[in-house]
Structure 1
Amino acid sequence: MPQITLEHPTHFDATDWRALALEIHRLCVEVVGATLPACKTRIVRCENLIVADGAPEQAMVHCDLPILSGRTQEQKTALGEAVQAALLAGVAPYDGPRQISVEIGNLDRDNYRKVTL
């Protein structure tokens, strides 16, 4: 926890995704009390992405960020807003139409298992 997925099209290849992921890890620690070793991010480059009418200039970045249950709605809202601000600041400039979204979800504490070896 958190299990973070950053999805992006080729429009944003110039973005420093590693730096952005590390910033999101920092926010998870600061805003919802996650431990840094628990933060994991998968960066997924989407070759085939269809947004709206399918025009090739349409672009999007989405961050799916499930965290262990037990956080308040205020904490989840604050994390979502902070991550969206980090994405807006960190994603490479692009002049075409684009969407940047974040979803904070719950990992059920009773059903989540992890082993660190």
Structure 2
Amino acid sequence: MPQITVDHSAQVTSSFACDWPAFVRDLHGTVVEIAAAKLPACKTRLRPTGDVFIGHEPVGDHALVHVHIALLPGRTEETKARLTEAALELVRRHVRASGGLTLHASAEVRELDASYRKYEGE
């Protein structure tokens, strides 16, 4: 915990100035600061995809980034909202469009289900 997934269209990798390691470092620091998570517990997956549509059309001159942050229960709605806004601000700072592309960014903070379990070991 927290489990973080960043889904993004393939254009972000090829047509945007993006420093993913810096983004993840800053995102983890933000999650620790706002949600009182422990840094070693922060886990992030970056998932590029080529199949993205806006309306009925393939993305073309558009790109998407969506940040999912899943936390153990117990944070207030205010804390989750602050974390969502902070995640969006980090996307704005770390993902820069080039070549006339438009970036559509979103974020969501949710609670992990009571069935969540983890395993660490060899």
Return the TM-score normalized by structure 2: 0.87
**Do structure 1's residue 97 and structure 2's residue 102 form an aligned pair?**
yes
> Once the two structures are aligned, what percentage of the paired residues are identical?
35
Aligned to 2:38: 35
Q: SS where residue 92 of structure 1 aligns? A: strand
User: Deviation of residue 4 (structure 1)?
Assistant: 0.6
Q: Within 5 Å, give how 1:21-100 maps onto structure 2.
A: 21-55=24-58, 56-94=60-98, 95-100=100-105
Q: SS where residue 11 of structure 2 aligns? A: helix
Give the Cα separation in 1 of the matches to 2:20 and 2:74: 29
User: Deviation of residue 53 (structure 1)?
Assistant: 3.5
- RMSD of aligned residue pairs (Cα, Å): 1.4
Write 1 or 2 for the structure with the bigger share of strand.
2
Q: SS where residue 60 of structure 1 aligns? A: strand
Where do 5+ consecutive residues of structure 1 fail to align? Answer: none
Residue type of the alignment partner of 2:57: G
Worse overlay, 32-41 or 48-57: 48-57
Residue type of the alignment partner of 2:49: C
Aligned to 1:3: 3
Give the Cα separation in 2 of the matches to 1:97 and 1:90: 15
Task: Determine if contact 1:10/1:47 at 8 Å carries over to the other structure.
Answer: yes
Aligned to 1:16: 19
Where do 5+ consecutive residues of structure 2 fail to align? Answer: none
Q: After TM superposition, where is structure 1 displaced by more than 3 Å over at least 4 residues in a row?
A: none
Aligned residue pairs, count: 116
Return the TM-score normalized by structure 1: 0.90
Match of 2:115 among 96, 99, 111: 111
Q: SS where residue 57 of structure 2 aligns? A: coil
